[in-house]
Structure 1
Amino acid sequence: MLLAVDIGNTTVALAGLRGDVPAFVIRLPSDCGRDAAAWTNTLRQRLEGEGVDPREADGAVLSSVVPALTRPVTAALASLTGRTPLVVGRTTPTGLDLGGYDAFHLGMDRVVDCVAALARYGGPVAVFDMGTATTLSAADKNGVFLGGMILPGLALSLEALSAKAAQLPPITLTPPEGLMGTDTVSCMKHGALYGAAGAIEGIVRRLERTYGPLTVVLTGGNSTLVRPLLEISTAWEPNLTFLGLAEIWRRNQC
């Protein structure tokens, strides 16, 4: 079993992979107040709850977009497994050619997503990862990273509306009923979800005018709400980041 960790702005997700199949996924809040010892204890307890002895893992691989969490979680994985985890960074051989992209501030989650999508579907691909932010990452048929976009995530957009507009309340997203809202809450929900779907459709149309037909892959927690509203063909891979981490780990084994 391979332990794969995706550190995001909202959650730290740990998967136990047998091949490319997650045996389990553990999600914890991205708490920067925990030190390495606290992460070690928490992860040990959660792994024990899954019946997993981390000392028997084949290894561990990690990607992070929260620098403050990278070191303590990496130290926790090393302590639990007795192995040095592979931390995916700018110098890690991933198989993805970054071309002329300025990679200094490139989130490794976007690289990992593209590696997984290319391995699964070939190129060209466009990956929409709908988490705290909605990121677009695209690669061509030769595995060259083309770039992408970063949009406010659904929750962030709604939080901004509620914070800045006195008569707009905080809401919880659920699947929309019909096309139009009939009260303030449903109007906000429909606007957020159909707005996100319309943005993806419009971006894909423009991408295909420039790069030709491509495979569109959706991932991230909010993709489950938006994908049914899309009028374009997409692949849905809820475990895309874990698949990419496993692919990169395999490529870096001696």
Structure 2
Amino acid sequence: MILAIDIGNTNIVLGIYDGNELCCNFRLQTDSLKTTDEYASTIMLLMDTRKVDRNKLKGVIIASVVPQLIYTFSKLSTKYFNVEPMVVASGIKTGVPIKMENPKEVGADRIVNAVAAREKYGAPVIVVDFGTATTFDVISEKGEYIGGIICPGVKLSANILHAKTAKLPEVEIEKPEKVVGNNTIHSMQSGIYYGYLSMLDGILERVRDEAFGGADVPVVATGGLGSVFMEGSKYINRYESELTLLGLRLIYEKNS
């Protein structure tokens, strides 16, 4: 069994793989101030709850966009699981060439998503990851990572709208029944949902035109709100909730 750990700015997602099967997964809130021992106690409790035999754990792989937590979880792996972790960083084998000016700048999560999407859907393919930031990752016909786009995440945008206005409340992000809202909450939900949806489809249309000559290219969404926006999108046609965990397993296998 291997433990795949995806450390994001808002959440940490952990998955237990037994061979190719994802046995279970957990989600924790990211907290850079937590110690190795605090994270370990929570993770081991969750594993015990799901009846995971920790003695069968033979590997750990970590992808992180929070640099200070790489040390925390690497120490956790060696101290509590007696496993030297594999960290997604420069020099690791992915099978996806990074055609960027500075490949080291590309977030580990984006590389991992590209690996998983190419494996599952071939190339070319576009990945849209709905996280703290919403990222677009573009994989060419040759299977190369050629670049992407980074936008403020939808929750981040909604939180700013609430925080920076005196009278607008915090609202749930969901697809409203109508574009024209007849109260403040519905008006905000419409602005957030349809405004963000228009941005998504506008960017995807431009990416298709610029990178692929307008050709129809598979667009895979992942992240918590991916399924919500796939429903209304003209271009997002696949949703993979565990795309990053899949990519971590694939990279682990390539480097074992």
TM-score (norm 1): 0.94
> Of 210, 222, 226, which residue of structure 1 is paired with 2:225?
222
Q: CA deviation at 1:229?
A: 1.1
Q: CA contact under 8 A between 1:114 and 1:137: conserved in structure 2?
A: yes
Q: CA deviation at 1:17?
A: 1.9
| Residue range with higher mean Cα deviation, 145-154 or 175-184 | 175-184
Q: Kindly report which structure 2 residues correspond to 1:18-167, keeping only aligned pairs within 5 A, or say none.
A: 18-167=18-167
The CA distance in 2 between the partners of 1:250 and 1:8, in whole Å, is: 22
The CA distance in 2 between the partners of 1:61 and 1:143, in whole Å, is: 23
Aligned to 1:232: 235
Q: CA contact under 8 A between 1:135 and 1:148: conserved in structure 2?
A: yes
The CA distance in 1 between the partners of 2:21 and 2:229, in whole Å, is: 24
What count of residue pairs does the alignment treat as equivalent? 253
Over residues 131-172 of structure 1, what are the superposed CA-to-partner deviations in whole Å (9 max), with x where a residue is unaligned? 111001111121211111111111100111112222211122
Over residues 24-67 of structure 1, what are the superposed CA-to-partner deviations in whole Å (9 max), with x where a residue is unaligned? 11111111111112222221111111111222023111100011
The CA distance in 1 between the partners of 2:82 and 2:226, in whole Å, is: 36
Mark the CA change 1:174 to 1:119 in structure 2 (over 3 Å): closer, same or farther: same
Q: Structure 1, unaligned stretches of length 5 or more?
A: none
Q: CA deviation at 1:240?
A: 0.4
The CA distance in 2 between the partners of 1:162 and 1:119, in whole Å, is: 40
Q: CA deviation at 1:233?
A: 4.9
3-state SS of 1:229 partner: coil
Aligned to 1:200: 200
Q: CA contact under 8 A between 1:54 and 1:80: conserved in structure 2?
A: no
AA aligned opposite 2:56: E
Q: Runs of 4 or more off by more than 4 Å in structure 1?
A: none
Identity of paired residues, percent? 33
Over residues 182-232 of structure 1, what are the superposed CA-to-partner deviations in whole Å (9 max), with x where a residue is unaligned? 211111112111222212211121122122232111000011221111123
Q: CA contact under 8 A between 1:7 and 1:65: conserved in structure 2?
A: yes
> Of 244, 248, 252, which residue of structure 2 is paired with 1:245?
248
| Residue range with higher mean Cα deviation, 14-23 or 190-199 | 14-23
Q: CA contact under 8 A between 1:40 and 1:79: conserved in structure 2?
A: no
The CA distance in 2 between the partners of 1:182 and 1:232, in whole Å, is: 29
TM-score (norm 2): 0.94
Q: Structure 2, unaligned stretches of length 5 or more?
A: none
Q: CA contact under 8 A between 2:230 and 2:236: conserved in structure 1?
A: no
AA aligned opposite 2:121: Y
Aligned to 2:209: 209
3-state SS of 1:176 partner: coil
AA aligned opposite 2:178: G
3-state SS of 1:116 partner: helix
The CA distance in 2 between the partners of 1:233 and 1:37, in whole Å, is: 40
